Chains A and B, each alone.
Chain A
């Protein structure tokens, strides 16, 4: 099982808070811009949900 992740890049302000919650899914690249893995194993769900909670712009979604 995998989950699909979508980040609304019109909302994302690249704060990187998600990086601390799910470091294997989200990172800021060398230009300080968000990069993420769009499809991850279901075992990451807890971390991704924590990232969703802590995203200041509420920009992260799990697409079911």
Chain B
């Protein structure tokens, strides 16, 4: 029997690549390992509407298609080790599995802070369905919540907790929420929206320790002051899940480094042609911007990179003569992103973080709706709007070009 294509990570990226492999004509066996107990589900609602209402698998599970009905999903099973020299993996039960091609779709996990006080009860993160179920159970009207971190997930979770009637304080080291990403003016506008909804801020502050014996009762900030809380939500960034790939000379310095065909690259720069990475864990060059590899934690990336992996892998596995041609094809997906906080709907395209300046393109920060362009020199590297979707969408095709 031929060895299967093995996908590690049974989330959106894993599902999308299985579908794309079938669409690209690969008919051989596919096995997908996932360490969560659930089939692939949609994460963004976990900090937004699902957290506010009904946190259940039914509310977030991806529909599965007939074309992937024969994929062997092995859930609740973590892959522990990889030996690329023998094309084999070892799972947490000590079983080994050989593959024809390996697809790395293990995503990222929430970074957790380390404090001297070891209390854990009452500390939460928001990455998985189990995280969201646990958090939802802890959020009740009047619950005192501290959100540590003012990125998108921190701000969305704060907004949702507020909607649920909690007292919410955001503590973060930056000057304004999401400022590093959106720029100071936009960030001030977002902060004003949170202020209007009664969220408190302790910006330019770090949490030095927690207070509490069995459960958390508060936090100590770096200026020595304390904040009472029943729930602490840590939203301070993420760590790529790559430990299981160690010892194979892959470049794992920030996720899995790949070439433009999403094939893994070793530390010496050589390519492992039958090992691919996609989604949040992949650090890949995007021809839309330049040849600098980057990880992009945006929702369309698992789908777009999965298609790219599938076209290359399917051609390779079929022994097609056109593999080199397919590998050399330009790969330039437009990252797309959205965020919901209260009744604010933000939509963005490109990589706003690459910009050295921003410019208001439509309306002003005094309006309910506006659209900001982000530039690196003359090149439009991103666009982000509140409301006015037709306008924002009109810029999608211009991302990566000089305006």
Are chains A and B native binding partners rather than an unrelated pairing? yes
Enumerate chain B residues within 8 angstroms of A15, measured Cβ to Cβ: 338, 345, 347, 389
Q: Are A13 and B345 in contact (CB under 8 A)?
A: yes
Q: Are B44 and A32 in contact (CB under 8 A)?
A: no
Decide yes or no: A54 and B389 within 8 Å by CB, A13-B340, A20-B396 being known contacts: no
Q: Which residues of B come within 8 Å of A, CB atoms?
A: 16, 19, 42, 44-45, 62-63, 65, 299-300, 303, 336, 338, 340, 345, 347, 387-390, 393, 396
Enumerate chain B residues within 8 angstroms of A16, measured Cβ to Cβ: 347, 389-390, 393
Q: Which of A1-48 contact B (CB under 8 A)?
A: 13-17, 19-20, 28, 30, 32
Cα distance A54–B308 in the bound complex, in angstroms: 15
Nearest neighbor of B334 in chain A, beta-carbon distance = A20
Top 7 nearest A-B pairs (CB, nearest first) are: A32-B389, A16-B389, A16-B393, A28-B390, A53-B303, A15-B338, A32-B390
A–B complex contacts, Cβ < 8 Å, 8 sampled: A13-B340, A16-B389, A17-B336, A19-B393, A30-B390, A52-B63, A56-B299, A58-B62
Secondary structure class of chain B's binding surface, majority of residues: mixed
Residue from the list B44, B300, B389, B396 in contact with A14, Cβ < 8 A: B389
Cα distance A53–B62 in the bound complex, in angstroms: 9
Q: Are B299 and A28 in contact (CB under 8 A)?
A: no
Cα distance A13–B345 in the bound complex, in angstroms: 8
Cα distance A32–B299 in the bound complex, in angstroms: 21
Nearest neighbor of B340 in chain A, beta-carbon distance = A13
Enumerate chain A residues within 8 angstroms of B336, measured Cβ to Cβ: 17
Residue of B16, B42, B347, B387 with most chain A CB atoms under a 10 A cut-off: B347
Shortest CB–CB separation between residue B253 and chain A, in angstroms?
Answer: 30
Shortest CB–CB separation between residue A21 and chain B, in angstroms?
Answer: 10
